[in-house]
Structure 1
Amino acid sequence: MADNVISGYAVRFNDITTIGQSFRERISPGAFTESLKRNDIVALIGHDTGRVLGRVSAGTLTLREDRIGLWFSLDVDKSTPSGQEALGTVGRGDVKGCSFAGQFLAEDWQDGGGRLPLRTVTEIDLYEITLTAFPAYETTDASVRKENNASAARERLLRKAEAAMRLRGIH
């Protein structure tokens, strides 16, 4: 069994969180659709660009939107300090949430009607997802996934081949 894959939901659509006690926020389904087509998104630890865990173009990070949210699968390199840290802290459950970074391109605001105003984000230019102990959205999740070695190896090869084709402009 391979034990170097971390997966989960970096975002769950339509869940509401409070941002800085100033407003409430939710992410709409489809908010990442365009950036998933064009961006070379990375996975990090704690938004630290010096601790890269995976990248779409390398075939080590897979992202997709489904009816629940933005799902990810991360093939972590156990030979790196960041990879060891991620597998260890996520595997133990010390780090079990996610966050993301990008530019918000489209949003709608609603009066809170006595509560904090609500921002609904409808389009995001996503740059990165990150593993974090303190996610703004508590419903995000990350866990170490156990899988069959043969199927995991096939999946990794397929992701790397698809990433190489995308770099050449082949879809």
Structure 2
Amino acid sequence: MSKTTRTFEIEDYVVRDAQEGERAPRMEGYAIVFNSDSSLIREGGRTFIERVAPGFCRGSLEGVAEGRHIHALWSHDRQKPLGSTRNDNLVLREDEKGIWFSLSTERFERRELAAARDGDLQVSFGMRKIDYDWSVRDDGVKVGLIRSAEVFEISPVVFAAYNATSAELREEMIRSHDEWEASQRVEEVVEEQVEDKIDVSRELVLIELGRARIQAR
């Protein structure tokens, strides 16, 4: 599976002051709540929502204990590392509700820390999906379920949330289908024009061949 990113709203979100032994405030909350609907996704010609199954990244979390660490970056930028599970600047924990995280803001710039305190940030996971299922809700909305994935990084991002309602999702799906149909009609028109030109060219060739035969006589 190819690498992808997924952005989630943070639940129970706080930026708490540094405690004894800590050098900076920390962002904390649930980066992923299991089996909850994501924001609208348009990818690979599909319009859908996505859910995450319990235990989807258990292998990655177990790998941390074995020395395979997960990194924190600012907005997926490798030039702006924020820490990792190696040094506890990043802590990830799974429970019945979802994936809880705690991230030190020590390497945040002033405006980034202000955005964190104002609640303007979401959390985005860099992952490689391993096991994935499709289904359709009763209202016709397509649902992708991430059953298993390899998580290799987590990023705070500034991203406008799109908490789509079912009506908005259906409208978006209809719009996507209409756009696809329109593109198909354009392709059909182009193909017809090409075929017409080919037919005209054939007729011209036949006329020229006829003239050449007449002259040869």
| 1:85-100 alignment, distance < 5 Å | 85-95=111-121, 97-100=122-125
> Does structure 2 retain, via aligned residues, the 8 Å contact 1:111–1:118?
yes
1:106 maps to 2:131 = yes
Structure with the higher fraction of residues in strand conformation: 1
Structure with the higher fraction of residues in helix conformation: 2
- Normalised to the residue count of structure 2, the TM-score between the two structures is 0.55
1:63 maps to 2:92 = yes
2:54 aligns with 29
| 1:149-164 alignment, distance < 5 Å | none
1:169 aligns with none
> Does structure 2 retain, via aligned residues, the 8 Å contact 1:10–1:71?
yes
Q: Which moved more, 1:44-53 or 1:105-114?
A: 105-114
Give the distance between the partners of 1:52 and 1:135, measured in 2 at CA.
Answer: 23
Q: AA paired with 1:48?
A: D
Give the distance between the partners of 1:58 and 1:84, measured in 2 at CA.
Answer: 22
C-alpha distance 69-83 of structure 1, shift in aligned 2 (>3 A): farther
Corresponding residue SS for 1:22: strand
1:11 maps to 2:11 = no
Give the distance between the partners of 2:37 and 2:161, measured in 1 at CA.
Answer: 10
Instruction: Return the index of the structure with the highest Cα Rg.
Output: 2
Q: AA paired with 1:60?
A: N
Residues matched between the structures, number:
134
Gap runs ≥5 in structure 2: 1-16, 19-23, 164-217
C-alpha distance 68-86 of structure 1, shift in aligned 2 (>3 A): farther
- Normalised to the residue count of structure 1, the TM-score between the two structures is 0.69
Structure 1 residue 121 displacement after superposition: 0.6
Structure 1 residue 88 displacement after superposition: 2.2
Gap runs ≥5 in structure 1: 139-171
Q: AA paired with 1:131?
A: P
2:76 aligns with 47
1:119 maps to 2:141 = no
